[in-house]
Amino acid sequence: MSGVTRRDFLKMSAVAAAGFTLSHLGFDLTPIRAYAAELRRDLRIKDAKETPTICCYCSVGCGILVATDAKGKVINAEGDPDHPISEGALCAKGASSYQIAVNENRLTKVRYRAPYSDTWKEVSWDWALDKIARNIKKSRDKSFTEKNADGKVVNRTNGIASVGSAAMDNEECWLYQKMLRALGLVYIEHQARI
Amino acid sequence: MADKSFFIDTTKCTACRGCQIACKQWNMNPATKTTQRGSHQNPEDLSFVTYKLVRFSEFEENGKPVWYFFADQCRHCLTPPCKIVAELHSVSAISQDATTGAVLYDPKVKVGEKDFKAIREACPWDIPRWDDKTQGMAKCTMCVDRVKEGLLPACVKTCPTGAMNFGDRDAMLAMAKGRLEQVKEKHPKADLLNHEYVRTIFLVVDEPRKYHTFAVAKPETVIAALHESNVLVGS
């Protein structure tokens, strides 16, 4: 019994007891009892519509199949086996992409925390977009540099920086970059490089 | 449909935890609230809502850092001790699928705390979990609903490195043994864990307990005895 822990010993006893009791009572454990719930249940994506898409996270660009029910609700998302890059595989972030659509913790309304305040308040999209536009205008007017110390035309806005976003797709990035450059931003960074 | 098995090659695992998340999402299990414990392992343990967990083992050996990953889950035993002990306790929550060999818990069946403790204690790999609110038991289902439709289990489907494999038992055993031969050239301690008794075959390159306390059932006689006892009972 050397090297046998208490747990192992208990297991041995349980096993010995099982063999003894059951064989003496004549129980037959070999036939299968009722099928468990999993076996009776239909595959829940059986009649779902499958839509191929690309993972929104990193630049690998894995393929995802999104399953939606008759009402268009997302019911599953998993790797697309026909995708040439990922061949059905997904990492932890890609595998959780279902939650982009379905998650009770997801914010559905715009929230605003005023400077020096410690509480959030719900605001409308109109209010928030207007506020952002005003703040951008204010900072840009204040920090816009038309010419540098050598008198060369630079037209840059040093008072604003942009950080993000890994969740943007190629076309969104193009539009975003165009907008930032038009404003004169030079501090344009992506979180993957920070 | 034939007897099925998993082959988990820990040498290929990068601990991305895709399997863990794919399992959560397919089974529609909620997240677990966790705290910072100084380890990348998250959550801390398997639970009623966490069937698959990548265990992280970090230590120093001969002045060098060692970091092992162990994608823990139910072993779907050929002869499940949990089922035998459950029946001894008149608990009808556990069944075994005749075709795939999947060991299945019905989470809707109420199990008393004492009975559950006996069932958990019977598992050499410490897999069964219980919810004190619903009094039901839950663990890995082998995604038997997917498997019977010809799909791979969610964890295997998502694995980007080929660490998680699933298929007919013969094929998986052949794959495991073939890979073991390759790995042994570089890692003489490499081994397959309890592969004769379980349907989830792990390949490790070091002592199993360095990966996880319950990585391997020891002594092997425990399960061997169980195997014999069932043969005896069945005769």
At A118-156, the pLDDT tens digits run 999 999 999 999 999 999 999 999 999 999 999 999 999
Query: What is the reported pLDDT for A58?
Result: 81
Cβ <8 Å between A78 and B26:
yes
Residue B227: per-residue pLDDT? 57
- Model pLDDT, residue A39: 59
- The arithmetic mean of pLDDT across residues B98-127, rounded, is 94
In the numeric block, which tokens belong to residue B184?
């042994």
Residue B218 binned pLDDT confidence (cut-offs 50, 70, 90): low
Predicted pLDDT of residue B230: 56
Does B112 have pLDDT greater than 60?
yes
Buried residues in B53-82 as b, exposed as e (16+ CB within 10 A)? bbbbbeeeeeeeeeebbbbbbbbbbbbbbb
Q: Which residue has the higher pLDDT, B182 or A15?
A: B182
Interface contact A32-B226, CB threshold 8 A? no
Q: Facing residues of A123 across strands?
A: A110
- Per the CB < 8 Å rule, is A89 touching B85? no
- Model confidence over B22-48: pLDDT tens digits? 999 999 999 999 999 999 999 999 999
Mean pLDDT of A75-96: 95
Spatial CA neighbour of B70 closest among B223, B220, B216: B216
Give the domains, in start order, of chain B with CATH numbers: 81-138 (3.30.70.20)
Task: Return the minimum-mean-pLDDT range out of B46-50, B57-61, B83-87.
Answer: B83-87
Cβ contacts (< 8 Å) between B96 and chain A: which residues? Answer: 32
Residue B167 has pLDDT above 90, yes or no: yes
The answer to whether B74 touches B101, Cβ cutoff 8 Å, is no
- The mean of the pLDDT values for chain B is 92
| pLDDT tens, position by position, B85-110 | 899 899 999 999 999 999 999 999 99
What's residue A36's pLDDT?
A: 52
Percent above pLDDT 90 for chain B: 86
Q: What is the pLDDT of residue B153?
A: 97
User: d(Cα B155, Cα B164) in Å, to the nearest integer?
Assistant: 7
Please provide the average confidence, as pLDDT, over all residues in chain A.
Answer: 83
> Which among B105, B157, B222 has CB closest to A15?
B222
- Other beta carbons within 10 Å of A24: 9
Who wins on pLDDT, A18 or A44?
A: A44
Q: In DSSP terms, which residues pair with A175 in a beta bridge? A: none
Contact status of A18 with chain B (Cβ, < 8 Å): yes
Helix B81-88 vs helix B113-122: angle between axes, to the nearest 10 degrees? 150
Give the minimum alpha-carbon distance from B106 to chain A in angstroms, rounded to a whole number. 6
Please tell me the predicted confidence (pLDDT) of residue A127.
97
pLDDT: which is higher, A8 or B204? B204
Under 8 Å CB pairs connecting chains A and B tally to 154
Q: Give the model's pLDDT for residue A31.
A: 37
For residues B47-64, average pLDDT: 97
Residue B163: is its pLDDT beyond 60?
yes
Report whether pLDDT(B221) > 90.
no
Weakest mean pLDDT among A27-31, B76-80, B100-104, B113-117: A27-31
Q: What is the pLDDT of residue A9?
A: 42
In single-letter form, the type of residue at position A24 comes to H
Mean predicted confidence (pLDDT) in A72-91:
95
User: A192 with A60: CB under 8 angstroms?
Assistant: no
The pLDDT assigned to B113 comes to 95
Residues 51-80 of B with CB under 8 A from A: none
What's the pLDDT score for residue A8? 52
Q: Which two tokens stand for residue A12?
A: 């041995």
Tokens encoding B68: 């092992």
Nearest alpha-carbon partner for A78 in A108, A55, A104 = A55
Out of A25-29, B199-203, B225-229, pick the least confident: A25-29
